[in-house]
Amino acid sequence: MRSTFTGTAGAYRFTLLAGAATFALAMPGTAFAQEEEPEVEAPDSSNVIIVTASKREQTLQEVPIAVSVTSGETIERAQIRDVLDLQSVVPSLRVSQLQTSSATTFIIRGFGNGDNNFGIEPSVGVFIDGVFRSRSAAALSDLNMISRVEVLNGPQSTLFGKNASAGVISIVTKEPQYEFGGQIEAAYGNFNALNVRGEVTGPITDNIAWSLDGTYQRRDGFGRIVNLDNADINDRNRWSVRGNLLIEPTADLKIRLIADFTDIDESCCQTSNLVVGGITQLAIGGVGGVFPTDFFSFDNFLNAVPFNKNQNYGFSGQVDWNLTDTLALTSITSYRELTNAFTQDVDFTSADITAETRDQAVDTFTQELRLTSDFDGPINFLLGGYYFKESITQDSNLSIGRDFRNFAAIQAAPAALLPPNPTAAQRIAVGNAVLQNVEAGLGLPLGSILGGTALTRERFAMDNTSWSVFGTVDFEPADGLVFTAGFNYTDDRKDFVIDFQALDPLANINLVDAFITGATGGAVRNRAQFQALPAANQQALLAAATNPAVNSLLGLSALQFQTPSPNVPNSVEPGRTRDDQLTYLLRVAYQASNELNVYASYSTGFKASSVNLSRDSRPLSTDYIPGPGPRGSTFAAPASPIVNAGLATPNLSTGTRFAGPEEAQVYEIGMKGQWDGFGFNLAVFDQTIEGFQSFLFTGLGFGLANAGKQSVRGFEIDTTIQPTDGLVLTFAATHLDPLYDDFTGGPLGDLSGRRPAGIPAWSLRTSATYSHEFGSSGNMLITRVDYAHDSQVNILDGIAGFNANQFTREVNLVNASMNLELNNGVALGLFARNLLDEQFPLTIFPGVAQAGTVSGYPNPPRTWGGLVRFKF
């Protein structure tokens, strides 16, 4: 079987649209950029975009960094609601939503990792008005009152104090204005979608201005829970509010204060099955459960409606002070709080098997200081310091539902004890009899195996303190020729606590060791007693205990879903990471003419260790070596630090508690040109990350490991052409050739030499925007069509029991909008996203407690609607 998703007529549509894209070169408000140079007056051109990617205001052409810029105007006209939609106009950026409304992954140039685990720092840093949002759950605010969004590709350690080894998403909102004004917009669409947003700004005094903006989104679910009266799933119910105060007591001092609050209360996410395995059909079906079989039907079968409640709020203050005509000081202070809670039926069937509940909280304080120069001479500099303090807590559990025992009994029933063509009831009766005999033999209460209320209960906590010093120096020996050197030194310290309880009694019994205890008449009950036996006796006992024909208990190992692990910190595992690193940048940029700039750079980047705050957290293989058997005998486990300290728990396996730091290096050359009616930006790069923190969702937890080395070579091009007044055509492309150069220790085995999954070779973004003015009335009709294509790619590196090439994805999305903007401030519009109703899986994962089943998340269907806007 091969599952390839290109959508209806995907290949044909790609051929037509890609051909058209060769004529549609670039996009109004989306372009690549660079980094530093003395500020110059921007030429008079409709394509000039001002950016602050280098922490200085410059035109996009001047900045020698690969940056994609999406203007607030483009966001408004394209009906881009949040950062999830942003990827439709930025080819190097990929954003995916996973298990909940707040679990989102940002990927740039193929590098990024999941954010459904709060112990893992993102490789792509998100900054909103200069404030680092450490978790994507705190970065999902609606894109309202936006000036622009800058996506910086590659390491940015010399400009952003909190290192982001893959890149940065910098969202810049509008400052309050001294002239009263604002806007209100309401949109209504299919799925009863109602989107309201507005902003108002004005003066308080001659040197104090204010603004207030807010959004409200409500939408019925894309999916329905069929067995729960078609209850909605994948709905929208969120609102946000933000207040700004701008104070300018003198011409040299500017203070901006921002407070914001976002609330999300939704049911997420739409999940279905690509492959229904034997256990799902037999055991789930046997207890009366129903499960989805059509991946794109949007039919769900759950035993409870999931919920996700998220509140994200904070305050920041930025002070810009011109100390002299040539020196300026900037201070950005912020404090933020995030609470995130959800309950999810994680077996994704109507059977009551298990559900996961999490209650998470994050408190973050940051302080940044920057001193910048603006000398007339050949040397200028930027020097900064950054402090970051964060505290994370998580309480979570997995439940045992009322059907879990019978679900297990069906799997425990030996074929030899079943009648021909057994019914589900007969399988349950035989299986329960087997479990009761096991309980009696092991001295457990009858009905206790998978008969309690909770499978696991855990509490995680982490404190992170980080500080850094960073800066750049520019040297311009001749007009237009600038040499830049930059550095960042970061010190990062994490202290974490893992309190994990595996509550099912069977999970706390090693079936090899239990057999040995029984075979010796109870004489051997612990490792010390076993190790005291003669070697020949040990080998004889192990040979019998690990033979399924002799030890009938071994067949129950598949029912040991969550096994115990030592709590951290302990005498072997201190529960802390200590990282520090010096990274640097070397670059030369040359302005060949007023229209053309070129640059070449070498930069390094760093991301500190990430901690696996999940129930899959396990000791390193250097700390513990399991003994023989399907779950690893504790009695026969070799000496190791964990064993020697008396910390070994039954059925203990190995893995990681944390992944070490990422260290990136990038070689890049670029060229930027801007002429009347035409502009382009080109970057060619060779990027490598040593120790990339590879992250795999396993269904109930997360596998975390360092890839020895992962690299990508490629190029990015973004072009804009304005062939006639009113018509702007855009084309942007990213080509990536990634490779696991060295990855031997991951959860899927040796991946060295393979192409990482999920990274398309080609990503294309193109658009056409036509603005027609009716005479000289000032009334405008603005029509926009954009197209996004990602070439076919494997979705995951692999799933046990399946070929990695079996599940692939190709993306072809068309979005369109039309707005009539009248000179009295009124605008009427129509819009559609995923206009052709393309279908593809966002990601996939192994079925929870259902070997052989593959589940996943489908992309959103076509949405459309109309809007009315009034600007005043």
> Long-range CB contacts (< 8 A, 24+ apart) of 417-424?
424/285, 424/286, 424/287
Q: How confident is the model at residue 158 (pLDDT cuts 50, 70, 90)?
A: confident
Longest dimension (CA), the chain: 101
Specify the range with the lowest mean pLDDT, choosing from 23-32, 287-296, 475-484.
23-32
Q: How confident is the model at residue 57 (pLDDT cuts 50, 70, 90)?
A: confident
Average pLDDT of the chain to the nearest whole number:
89
Q: Which amino acid is at 396?
A: S
Q: Compute the average pLDDT of residues 614-637.
A: 94
Measured distance CA(417)–CA(413) in Å, rounded: 7
By CB atoms closer than 10 A (0-12, 13-18, 19+), residue 644 is exposed
Crossing angle of helices 511-519 and 535-545, in 10° steps, is 120
What does DSSP assign to residue 121? P
- CA nearest to 132, candidates 339, 464, 365, 319: 365
- The tokens for 670 are 């670029």
pLDDT at 141: 65
Which of helix, strand or coil describes residue 835? coil
Specify the range with the lowest mean pLDDT, choosing from 45-49, 210-214, 305-309, 683-687.
45-49
pLDDT at 745: 72
Q: How confident is the model at residue 115 (pLDDT cuts 50, 70, 90)?
A: low
Helix (H) / strand (E) containing 601: strand 596-607
Q: Which amino acid is at 225?
A: I
Q: What is the pLDDT of residues 339-390, one digit of tens each?
A: 999 999 999 999 999 999 999 999 999 999 999 999 998 999 999 999 999 9
Q: Please give the share of the chain, as a percent, with pLDDT higher than 90.
A: 73
Helix (H) / strand (E) containing 438: helix 424-442
Measured distance CA(120)–CA(165) in Å, rounded: 13
Are 411 and 287 in contact, with CB atoms under 8 Å apart?
Answer: no
- The tokens for 656 are 């990681």
Backbone angles phi, psi at 467, to 5 degrees: -140, 155
Measured distance CA(138)–CA(264) in Å, rounded: 11
Are 90 and 168 in contact, with CB atoms under 8 Å apart?
Answer: no
Q: Which residues of 261-289 are buried (b: 16+ CB within 10 A; e: fewer)?
A: ebebebbbbbbbbbbbbebbeebbbbbeb
pLDDT at 12: 39
Three-class DSSP labels, 142-195: CCCCEEEEEEEECCCCCCCCCCCCCEEEEEEECCCCCCCEEEEEEEEECCCEEE
pLDDT at 240: 95
- CA nearest to 237, candidates 266, 262, 214: 266
Q: How confident is the model at residue 47 (pLDDT cuts 50, 70, 90)?
A: very low
Q: Compute the average pLDDT of residues 5-13.
A: 42
H helices then E strands: how many in the chain? 11, 40
Are 111 and 123 in contact, with CB atoms under 8 Å apart?
Answer: yes
- CA nearest to 531, candidates 545, 549, 550, 516: 516
The yes-or-no verdict on residue 4 having pLDDT over 90 is no
Specify the range with the lowest mean pLDDT, choosing from 54-63, 420-429, 597-606, 822-831.
54-63
pLDDT at 1: 41
- CA nearest to 454, candidates 504, 498, 395: 504
Scan for tokens 């039926």, then name that residue.
Answer: 345
Torsion of CA 410, 416, 421, 422, to 10 degrees: -40
- The tokens for 311 are 């509140």
Measured distance CA(710)–CA(174) in Å, rounded: 38
Measured distance CA(464)–CA(475) in Å, rounded: 36
Q: How far apart are the first and last CA of the chain?
A: 58
- The tokens for 412 are 């425990």
Query: Can you list the alpha helix ranges (DSSP code H) found in 158-309?
Result: 278-279, 285-286
pLDDT at 10: 44
The yes-or-no verdict on residue 338 having pLDDT over 60 is yes
Specify the range with the lowest mean pLDDT, choosing from 127-141, 165-179, 312-326, 665-679.
127-141
Residue 268 preceded by cis peptide, ω within 30: no
User: 225 vs 97, 184, 235, 863, CA distance in Å?
Assistant: 20, 35, 12, 20
The DSSP annotation for 706-742 comes to EEEEEEEEEEEEEEEEEEETTEEEEEEEEEEEEEEEE
pLDDT at 28: 38
Scan for tokens 């396990």, then name that residue.
Answer: 618
Q: How confident is the model at residue 78 (pLDDT cuts 50, 70, 90)?
A: confident
Q: How confident is the model at residue 68 (pLDDT cuts 50, 70, 90)?
A: confident
The DSSP annotation for 789-809 comes to EEEEEESSS--TTS-GGGEEE
pLDDT at 58: 73
Query: Can you list the alpha helix ranges (DSSP code H) found in 10-132?
Result: 10-21, 72-77, 83-86
- The tokens for 691 are 């120790």
Measured distance CA(662)–CA(270) in Å, rounded: 33
Strands 807-821 and 3-5: parallel
User: 804 vs 44, 712, 751, 844, 860, CA distance in Å?
Assistant: 52, 20, 11, 12, 25
Q: Please give the share of the chain, as a percent, with pLDDT higher than 70.
A: 92
- CA nearest to 279, candidates 559, 553, 696: 559
Q: What is the pLDDT of residues 241-285, one digit of tens each?
A: 999 999 999 999 999 999 999 999 999 889 999 999 999 999 999
Measured distance CA(360)–CA(460) in Å, rounded: 9
Q: How confident is the model at residue 50 (pLDDT cuts 50, 70, 90)?
A: low
Q: How confident is the model at residue 37 (pLDDT cuts 50, 70, 90)?
A: very low
Residues 6+ apart with CB under 8 A from 827: 819, 820, 821, 867, 868, 869, 870, 871
Strands 167-173 and 124-128: parallel
Q: What is the pLDDT of residues 442-481, one digit of tens each?
A: 999 999 999 999 999 999 999 999 999 999 999 999 999 9
Q: Compute the average pLDDT of residues 602-629.
A: 93
3-state helix, strand, coil in the chain (%, to 5): 15, 50, 40
Looking at per-residue confidence, does 708 or 836 come out higher? 836
Rg (CA), the chain: 29
Backbone angles phi, psi at 634, to 5 degrees: -80, -35
